[in-house]
Amino acid sequence: MDMRRIGRTDLVVSKICLGTMTWGQQNTEAEGHAQMDYAFERGVNFLDTAELYPIPPKAETQGRTERYIGNWMKARGNRDKVVLASKVVGRTTNDWFRGGRPSKLVREDIMHAVEGSLQKLQTDYIDLYQIHFPERRVPWGSNPNRVGNWPAKRDADETPIAETIAVFEELVKAGKIRHLGLSNESSWGVMRFIFESEKGNGPRPASLQNAYNLVNRTFEVNLTEVSDREEVSLLAYSPLAQGYLTGKYDHGARPQGSRSQLFNRGQRYETPNAAEVQLEYNELARSFGMEPALFANAFVCSRPFVMSNIIGATSIAQLDMALSSASVTWTTEMQEAVDAIHQRTGNPCP
């Protein structure tokens, strides 16, 4: 397993990061532990979680995923071998994160979040603590193909980025977190955090966790240059487009027990023309003699600007295939075929 350094930090992580958002909803604690055991045996050292997990977010399940990870690290005695990433939610009206009230990216709420995560994870520090999504009003994912009503409405009580980043400085100095990461952020947002850090208001963002896959390459438009020149590493999530690039949903299928069938939360990948484009990529994978899931993950792993590919699985078989993508030789022929589809279809699922 290739290892890479995140941004300008001393964090060295595996080419593949194990995502955890199904643990506590689609997966039991025992299954989550088995996935971590298997991934770490295969060379993974990087886990990504969040206070919000598991997905879909619900009051009765919130925090289970971090608890499962904490129990695993305690049982294995391996905290020093794990690069651990978690996240604090941005602005949300969901009131179960803060004991019955909405949450924002203000000091009280960030402190509450990090203390809760440290307790559940049974650790004294988090290596990479990320802002799950911006507090300001932006389209989900922050990099859409187009925006309808722009400029977006601004909340009168929007928390300035300078105020938010100062809280992360406190956390770094207290030893509760090592580095700041962003997620679902735009090029403006990343640069604004960098601007505030260079003014001395807080830690420099080390990474950006955004969606990146065959049907959503919006990261390439502006953020690749930001990532390269500012050394803010991309941690790519949703390499399989919530399962639509596995082939299991081809021709309108909805297998029993699949995420789309269970939760009906796949709207990001059910946009006009999305099904046709997804099918075209899945058939392209098969033409190269590969399972669509292996092909889609290998594409993400092959991109030079992807620091780590955050995979997800609900079974060991799925996990094995995702891990195998790190060793696939991605050819010029494959890339040219992918780019030919992309040239015609663009980003149907930003």
User: Which amino acid belongs to residue 58?
Assistant: K
Distance CA 256, CA 138 (A): 34
Q: Is the residue at 265 inside a domain?
A: no
Q: What is the pLDDT of residues 87-129, one digit of tens each?
A: 999 999 999 999 999 999 999 999 999 999 999 999 999 999 9
**pLDDT (0 to 100) of residue 85:** 99
Q: Is the residue at 345 inside a domain?
A: no
Strands 12-14 and 46-48: unpaired
Asked if 239 and 310 touch (Cβ cutoff 8 Å), the reply is yes
Distance CA 247, CA 249 (A): 5
| 238 C-beta neighbours (distance < 10 Å), count | 25
Residues assigned a catalytic role? 53
CATH of the domain at 35: 3.20.20.100
Q: What are the b/e assignments for 254-293, b being 16+ CB within 10 Å?
A: eeeebbbeeeeebebbbeeebbebbbebbebbeeeebbbb
Q: Is the residue at 313 inside a domain?
A: yes
**Mean residue pLDDT across the chain:** 96
Q: Is the residue at 13 inside a domain?
A: yes
**pLDDT (0 to 100) of residue 10:** 97
Distance CA 46, CA 323 (A): 13
If one counts the domains in the chain, the total is 1
Walking along the chain (350 residues) 10 residues at a time, the average pLDDT comes out as: 97 98 98 98 98 97 98 98 98 96 98 98 98 94 80 89 98 98 98 98 98 98 96 98 96 86 87 96 98 98 98 97 98 98 97
Q: Is the residue at 292 inside a domain?
A: no
Q: Which of 273, 258, 260, 252 is nearest to 349 (CA)?
A: 273
Distance CA 304, CA 307 (A): 8
Q: Is the residue at 214 inside a domain?
A: yes
List Cα–Cα distances, 301 to 64, 94, 175, in angstroms: 29, 34, 32
Q: Is the residue at 248 inside a domain?
A: no
Q: What is the pLDDT of residues 248-268, one digit of tens each?
A: 999 998 888 888 888 888 899
Q: Is the residue at 288 inside a domain?
A: no
Domain that holds residue 114: 3-242+299-330
> Is the full-model pTM beyond 0.85?
yes
